[in-house]
């Protein structure tokens, strides 16, 4: 079964409300267009740290979710380590769904939030 987070991410992408890849996501944060940044749980350490720091500085929420392959597949693209969501409605819904699924899984996943 496909995750509801991935379904919403696919819809946001079709609506033109996402930017994927670390450089585009970082630019989106810097230009204050990003409302949420999703980072793949298997993203490299440098990517994670750079985006976390940038998002903390610009007060953009961050969620860790899925794998690089799954994020890319949900967007109809290749492997993506992160994605910035630029629409507030999509961002809120995706963040809530990601949080709900993390709670359902328990604390067996990584415990790095924002």
* pLDDT per residue as tens digits for the range 65-103: 999 999 999 999 999 999 999 999 999 999 999 999 878
Residues in the chain: 114
C-alpha distances in Å from residue 62, one per residue of 1, 42, 53, 78, 91: 24, 15, 10, 21, 10
108 DSSP 8-state letter = T
* pLDDT per residue as tens digits for the range 30-72: 999 999 999 999 999 999 999 999 999 999 999 999 999 999 9
């Amino acid at each position: 079964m496909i995750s509801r987070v991935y379904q919403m991410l696919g819809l946001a992408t079709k609506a033109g409300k996402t930017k994927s890849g670390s450089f585009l996501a970082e630019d989106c944060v810097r230009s204050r267009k990003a409302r949420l940044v999703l980072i793949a749980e298997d993203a490299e350490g440098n990517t994670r740290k750079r985006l976390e720091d940038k998002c903390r500085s610009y007060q953009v929420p961050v969620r860790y979710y899925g794998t690089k392959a799954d994020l890319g597949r949900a967007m109809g693209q290749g492997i993506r380590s992160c994605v910035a969501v630029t629409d507030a409605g999509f961002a809120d819904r995706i963040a809530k769904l990601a949080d709900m699924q993390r709670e359902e899984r328990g604390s067996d996943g990584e415990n790095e939030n924002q």
